[in-house]
Amino acid sequence: MRKVQGTSSSRKEEKTVRPLKKNDHPRSLNKPKKVFEELRLFATDVDGVLTDAGMYYGESGEELKKFHTRDGMGIKLLQAQGLVTAIITMENTKIVARRGEKLGIPEVFQGAKDKVAVLCYLSEKYGIPFGQMAYMGDDVNDVEALKTVGYAAAPADCVEQVRQVVHYVCKKNGGEGAVREVIDKILAAKGLE
């Protein structure tokens, strides 16, 4: 068993997760509508996905991030349909904890160096197979998580390594509504536009 350290619901805790098994890898997307219909969990990275990847610093050293409100509304729409929502990021800031709290995201993992381990933990906790999970990421530290889930997406301005492994590359950049773009596709497939 591996240990995953992160912040879930703004509390630091250590969680034990099982290692990834060979048969856990996602099915192909021959029928994307069916994949969307069966989705039960939506997870996303923060920097470059929920934000524009900029690191803004004020004169007194405070860090600022810009989030898109429509992405937030999209997350609320998924929650209203019973999907589990999660944030998985390597960063560790009060800003992310505050955003997760404001959106009512039940699973917020900060300082997550092994994002696949977090997905394993969530799979066990909620009884959700990887094929019924979606993940959005934009950089090399997201590649393994993107390859693990049933539906992988990335903002238009993602790095090339991510572009090669995702099922969908958005028309919008990170922090500019890319998350909502993917969520709208999921909701449309579920007949909930």
Domain harbouring 112, CATH code? 3.40.50.1000
Instruction: Please give the average per-residue pLDDT across 101-106, as a whole number.
Output: 97
Q: Tell me how far apart the terminal alpha carbons of the chain are, to the nearest angstrom.
A: 41
Instruction: Please give the average per-residue pLDDT across 17-44, as a whole number.
Output: 65
In a domain, 23, yes or no: no
In a domain, 18, yes or no: no
Average pLDDT, the chain: 87
**pLDDT at residue number 61:** 86
In a domain, 26, yes or no: no
In a domain, 19, yes or no: no
The residue segments making up the domain with residue 59 are 2-13+32-189
**Tens digits of residue pLDDT in 4-22:** 545 444 444 444 444 444 4
Instruction: Please give the average per-residue pLDDT across 175-189, as a whole number.
Output: 95
Exposure b/e, 128-155, CB count within 10 A at least 16 = b: bbbbbbbbbbbbebbbbbbebbbbbbbb
DSSP 23-84: GGSPPP-SSHHHHHHH--EEEE-STTTTS-S--EE-TTS-EE----HHHHHHHHHHHHTT-E
**pLDDT at residue number 191:** 80
Please say whether the beta carbons of 165 and 144 come within 8 A. no
What is the C-alpha separation between 16 and 4, in angstroms, rounded?
6
In a domain, 46, yes or no: yes
In a domain, 149, yes or no: yes
User: How many residues are listed for the chain in this entry?
Assistant: 193
In a domain, 20, yes or no: no
The pLDDT > 90 percentage for the chain reads 72
Number of domains observed in the structure of the chain: 1
**Tens digits of residue pLDDT in 58-96:** 898 888 999 999 999 999 999 999 999 999 999 999 999
In a domain, 65, yes or no: yes
**pLDDT at residue number 34:** 79
Please say whether the beta carbons of 135 and 152 come within 8 A. yes
